[in-house]
Amino acid sequence: MTDLLSDSRTDALIVGGGPAGLAAAIALRQRGIDCVVVDAMTPPIDKACGEGLMPDAISSLASLGLSIKEEDGFAFKGIRFANATHQVDAAFPEGHGIGVRRTRLHERLAQHAHDQGVRLRWDSRIRPVDHRTALINDKKTSFRWLIGADGQASSVRRWANLDHTLQKKLRYGFRRHYQITPWSDFVEVHWAAAGQLYITPVSADSVCVVFVTRDLQQDRTDILASFPEIAARLKEAPLLSQQRGAVSATRKLRQVTNETVALIGDASGSVDAVTGEGLAMSFRQAHALAAAIEAGSLEQYAIAHRRIGRLPHTMGSLMLTMDRWHSIEDRAIGALASAPELFRELLAVHLGTNSLLKFAFSRGPQFGWKLIS
């Protein structure tokens, strides 16, 4: 997927060809802006992920011209929360989600970027020279904008002095795939004192299982240890992938831009994996970044970036409170199980189709009473 065009000049040089970098490149091409994407790896690039695309992620991708279909994975209709004593689920207010193997998602994004005329440089090294020039595999390339889409440990963030962090909380995720017919068309989030287990159906005969914990002392050779019911279900199921780990970070940066550099995706800060919103946020940021570059104002992107992150960060901190305090988690899931309409409305808030403020005013007292009674 390379072409013979020279890299010696481009409008936007994007470091990182993961979902965020590719989405940004596609959004730029939609506006006729030239761009080069450089990634150190070769596609399809895998990563530990829950692999659930929420309905808002699917519609963001559709507006980038990429239609993710049921054939790419497995459609799910909502979210289920469960712990040892309670269970509650809710369907999405509109549309459905799709569980998609990370490698499949990357393949589709990379092909679409190529089709839109993005110049893709895989297996490539990049070194900055100054604020307008970099070396790609030792070849000089000049650019107007440098986009850091290089993930949690972003080098661009460091080069551009954008590392000043307002908030940082780390958890750790471990992912496996099992060959089994999905037993549910919900993404299941199982809660225990040790952390959460997410189960996403990703095909007619496989599920993605991720354990996320704040405690690195947990035995990661047995990620099902705290979930005996799921362990029994998966006992005979063959493993389809090697276990992969990744950091799940809640990170807020003071700034995501300077005059010529913008950060996007996990490089620009992130929400915990429990929100399932990392990909959707990256795709929304991609649209905002392309609009800002077209307008010649990265400040416009900085404002949009704050707006895009506000709700996922709020929902993330509510869920991390449940993670930290097992008694709150148990009471919250118990309260939602006894009034499933509250869970349905909270899911609508999470997806941005219902306002948090409206929920707090109209349902807060009922939820609060259920929590304490």
Ligand X SMILES: Cc1cc2nc3c(=O)[nH]c(=O)nc-3n(C[C@H](O)[C@H](O)[C@H](O)COP(=O)(O)OP(=O)(O)OC[C@H]3O[C@@H](n4cnc5c(N)ncnc54)[C@H](O)[C@@H]3O)c2cc1C
Tokens of 177: 């795939």
CA distance 284 to 288: 6
Of 25, 52, 74, 370, the one binding ligand X (CB under 6 A) is: 52
Burial 15-28 (b: 16+ CB within 10 A, else e): bbbbbbbbbbbbbb
| 224 scored as a contact of ligand X (CB under 6 A) | no
User: Of 18-37, which residues contact ligand X (CB under 6 A)?
Assistant: 18-21
Of 29, 47, 114, 370, the one binding ligand X (CB under 6 A) is: 47
| Min separation Cβ 5 and ligand X, Å | 19
Sign of CA dihedral 221, 225, 231, 232: positive
- Strand segments, DSSP code E, in 22-82 are 35-38, 52-53, 74-76, 78-82
Q: With respect to ligand X, which residue has the nearer C-beta, 246 or 342?
A: 246
Of 13, 25, 35, 38, the one binding ligand X (CB under 6 A) is: 38
| Min separation Cβ 275 and ligand X, Å | 8
| Min separation Cβ 331 and ligand X, Å | 26
Do 13 and 260 meet the contact criterion of CB atoms below 8 Å apart? Answer: no
Residue 115 amino acid letter: D
Of 110, 210, 302, 335, the one binding ligand X (CB under 6 A) is: 210
| 148 scored as a contact of ligand X (CB under 6 A) | no
Q: How many helical (H) and strand (E) elements, i.e. helices and strands, does the chain have?
A: 10, 17
Of 12, 26, 45, 253, the one binding ligand X (CB under 6 A) is: 45
| 173 scored as a contact of ligand X (CB under 6 A) | yes
| 40 scored as a contact of ligand X (CB under 6 A) | yes
CA distance 138 to 160: 20
Tokens of 337: 């199980």
Q: Where along the sequence are the contacts to ligand X (CB under 6 A)?
A: 15-21, 38-41, 45, 47-52, 57, 126, 149-151, 155, 173, 210, 212, 246, 248, 265-267, 270, 273, 276-280, 282
